Amino acid sequence: MELIRLDNVSLLRRTQEEFSYDLKRTFFSMLEGNYRKPVRRLVLDSINLTVNAHEKVGIVGANGSGKSTLLKLMCGILEPTKGKVRVQGSIAPLLELEAGFDKDISVYDNIILYGVLLGFSRAEMKQRAREILEFAEIEEFKLLPVKGLSSGMKARLGFAIATDVQPDILILDEVLSVGDEHFKMKCKKRIDSFWQGNATILVVSHDLDFIRQYCERVIWLDRGKLMFAGEPQETVSKYLKYST
Amino acid sequence: MALSLPGNATWEDFRRYWDLVYVLSARHLKVRYRGSFLGIYWSVLNPLVMTGLYAAIFGNIFATYYDNSLLNYMLAAFTGLTVINLYSTATIQSVNIVVWGSPLLNKIRLPVSVFPVSMVMANMFQFIAGVVPVLAIVTLFTSKNPLNVLLLVFPILSMFLLCVGVAFLVSALYVFFRDLPNFYEVIVFVLGLSTPIFYPPTIVPPNLRQFLVFNPLYPILESLRDIAISGTLPAPYPIVHSLLNGVLVLSVGWLCFQRWRSQFMDLL
Ligand SMILES: Nc1ncnc2c1ncn2[C@@H]1O[C@H](COP(=O)(O)OP(=O)(O)O)[C@@H](O)[C@H]1O
Ligand SMILES: [Mg+2]
């Protein structure tokens, strides 16, 4: 069964340095008649892609090639400029783990807040808060503001919240490299259980050995283009050959 | 999870929207008060102190317009201050709220409008917990009619609609124009000055007074004073006028917000 389908998807994004975030300047440049429409760059170029249920897909490519952007399109965070994105089932996005927390409120409040943002109900989150604290091994910080946590702890917390309930589709954007060795093992274990289970997984990683070992199919992106998609060994070696 | 919901799951959508507004509003209030419950009462202390100041400075001059009663002048000033305070804090705090949410919006699929709505809700909660009980007591004393207390719902609802509409507008504009606060604070200042808060509306020259109709706070204030301090049942006209104003501003704000939303993500 097909869970994710991208048909001829292109995305244009405004280059940020181009834009003046300034009412006064925009107003005057309009008066003087030299207002320019902001320039947009092609970040993803006509991507065609399908992901089937239970598939474990790796995504490789240089920095800035559009891997995170592709995942954001699948999560519905970004909308394509052209083409169509279709997704069936629940997605757990694990992008930039520690970014979503509010550093001024307590760890417990953050669990509720973050869980609701991810789509769980408040009642559900209250029940699950203890398990999450346990998994992240930060029970003793429950009532402290999040700014007191180290970035490793925050990453652990983010991982624990987003993976506490088994989603249909799990998206891992370079999250396997966070935390200390002990927690990495623990994450691996949880991800392994997803791996063995029914979940569909999309994983971005620069750890090519990991990709070769665990993924069933690998997608290689370069400068917004889909260069190759196929069997892991073949794709990774093509990617390596191209990079050197 | 960020569900891609089927089209008919409207109740589920609604619950999710409400949960989002709830947790975000709770977050705003928690950050503001850092666990101190008394913080809520700041919102009532501030207009009380200001009322005292206005009474000390203008009380003698303006009491003649209020049946020579200093108390009536103070009640009028107090109601005016509560309205302008709610409006200015709710909308000024909403200006940067979408930009504040950008780390979340870049990570999780969310209905963007929950951010301005949550900020207005946090302020409404504070208003209802702090100021409204005082207004209710005043109303009960002056009118001796519980019905008037119930009617307070209408100016409060109008305020809510107006504030949400304006919050949509300013929070969306701020995504594009980060120098907006400078201008918006001037607008709020002018709006506050052109609202008869501490002066009687009758001293405004007649050729200027006709423009008061365009001040959306004016009919709200009029209906609030009518309900809370006139001592009689209120005239229906200001209530209907302010509700319609609220619906109009909310619709305009919502339409602009939805129209500009597709461009937000590139700038956040
Ligand atoms: N918010 C943004 N606005 C405009 N362009 C962006 C934004 N974020 C990333 N980009 C551009 O999109 C391209 C792809 O970025 P990204 O998907 O983060 O790459 P990767 O995850 O593969 O390292 C980059 O060239 C980057 O400059
Ligand atoms: Mg990336």
User: Is some CB atom of chain B closer than 8 A to the CB atom of A174?
Assistant: no
Q: Is the backbone of residue A49 left (phi > 0), alpha (psi -120 to 50) or beta?
A: beta
- Cα of A64 vs centre of ligand 1, distance in Å, is 5
Domain that holds residue B167: 8-267
Inform me whether the pLDDT recorded for B3 exceeds 50. no
Residue whose CB lies within 8 A of the most ligand 1 atoms, among B105, B262, B265, B266, for a mutation test: B266
Q: Are B261 and B177 in contact (CB under 8 A)?
A: no
Inform me whether the pLDDT recorded for A114 exceeds 70. yes
pLDDT digits (tens, 9 = 90+) for B127-180: 999 999 999 999 999 999 999 999 999 999 999 999 999 999 999 999 999 889
Query: To the nearest whole angstrom, how far is the Cα of A242 from the nearest Cα of chain B?
Result: 30
Question: How far, CA to CA in Å, does B13 sit from each of A74, A126, A163, B21?
Answer: 20, 20, 22, 12
Contacts of B258 in chain A (CB under 8 A): none
pLDDT of residue B126: 92
If one counts the domains in chain B, the total is: 1
Residue of A186 and A135 predicted with greater confidence: A135
**Averaged pLDDT for residues A91-115:** 80
Question: How far, CA to CA in Å, does A92 sit from each of A8, A97, B212, B257?
Answer: 24, 12, 52, 27
Strand partners, A92: A170
**Averaged pLDDT for residues A19-34:** 76
* Nearest bound ligand to the CA of residue A221: 1
Strand partners, B113: none
Residue A224, ligand 1, Cβ within 6 A: no
Is the dihedral angle over the CA atoms B204, B206, B208, B212 positive or is it negative? positive
Query: Chain A residue with minimal CA distance to B175?
Result: A21
Note the ipTM here. Answer: 0.86
Transcribe B116-163 into DSSP letters: HHHHHHHHHHHHHHHHHHHHHHHHHHHH--HHHHHHTHHHHHHHHHHH
Selecting from A14, A88, A102 the residue whose C-beta is nearest the C-beta of B4 gives A88
Contact B267/A19, CB-based, under 8 Å? yes
Listed range (A90-104, A137-151, B158-172) with the worst mean pLDDT: A90-104
Distance CA A198, CA A230 (A): 21
Distance CA A188, CA B183 (A): 52
Q: Are A112 and A122 in contact (CB under 8 A)?
A: yes
Q: How confident is the model at residue A97 (pLDDT cuts 50, 70, 90)?
A: low
pLDDT digits (tens, 9 = 90+) for A195-233: 777 788 898 988 888 888 888 999 999 999 999 999 999
Residue spans of alpha helices (H) in chain A: 23-31, 67-75, 107-118, 122-136, 151-163, 181-196, 208-214, 232-243
pLDDT of residue B4: 44
Instruction: Give the DSSP H or E segment for A227.
Output: strand A225-230
Please provide the average confidence, as pLDDT, over all residues in chain B.
Answer: 91
Give residue A160's Cα distance to chain centre: 15
Inform me whether the pLDDT recorded for A15 exceeds 50. yes
Residue of B5 and A77 predicted with greater confidence: A77
Residue B209 lies in a domain: yes
Q: How confident is the model at residue B43 (pLDDT cuts 50, 70, 90)?
A: confident
Residue B266, ligand 1, Cβ within 6 A: yes
Residue B1 lies in a domain: no
pLDDT of residue A34: 73
Q: How confident is the model at residue A151 (pLDDT cuts 50, 70, 90)?
A: confident
- Single-letter code of the amino acid located at B108: I
Distance CA B228, CA B224 (A): 6
The minimum-distance atom of ligand 1 relative to the CA of A62 is: 22
Inform me whether the pLDDT recorded for B2 exceeds 80. no
Residue B3 lies in a domain: no
Contact B179/A23, CB-based, under 8 Å? yes
Smallest Cα–Cα separation from B188: which of B57, B107, B95?
A: B95
Interface of A with B in 182-241 (CB under 8 A): none
**Averaged pLDDT for residues B241-253:** 96
pLDDT of residue A176: 65
Contact B107/A89, CB-based, under 8 Å? no
**Averaged pLDDT for residues B93-118:** 93
Q: Which of A145-149, A160-164, A239-243, B162-166 has the highest mean pLDDT?
A: B162-166
Residue B28 lies in a domain: yes
pLDDT of residue A179: 60
Query: To the nearest whole angstrom, how far is the Cα of A223 from the nearest Cα of chain B?
Result: 18
Nearest CA to ligand 1 atom 26: A64
Selecting from A105, A116, A119 the residue whose C-beta is nearest the C-beta of B3 gives A119
Nearest CA to ligand 1 atom 25: A64
Residue A93, ligand 1, Cβ within 6 A: no
Question: How far, CA to CA in Å, does B174 sit from each of A76, A89, A128, B145, B180?
Answer: 23, 34, 37, 44, 6
Residue A235, ligand 1, Cβ within 6 A: no
CATH domain A2-90+204-243 topology: Rossmann fold (3.40.50)
pLDDT digits (tens, 9 = 90+) for A162-201: 777 777 888 888 776 666 777 777 777 877 777 777 788 8
Q: How confident is the model at residue A20 (pLDDT cuts 50, 70, 90)?
A: low
Domain extents in chain A:
2-90+204-243, 98-166
pLDDT of residue A66: 92
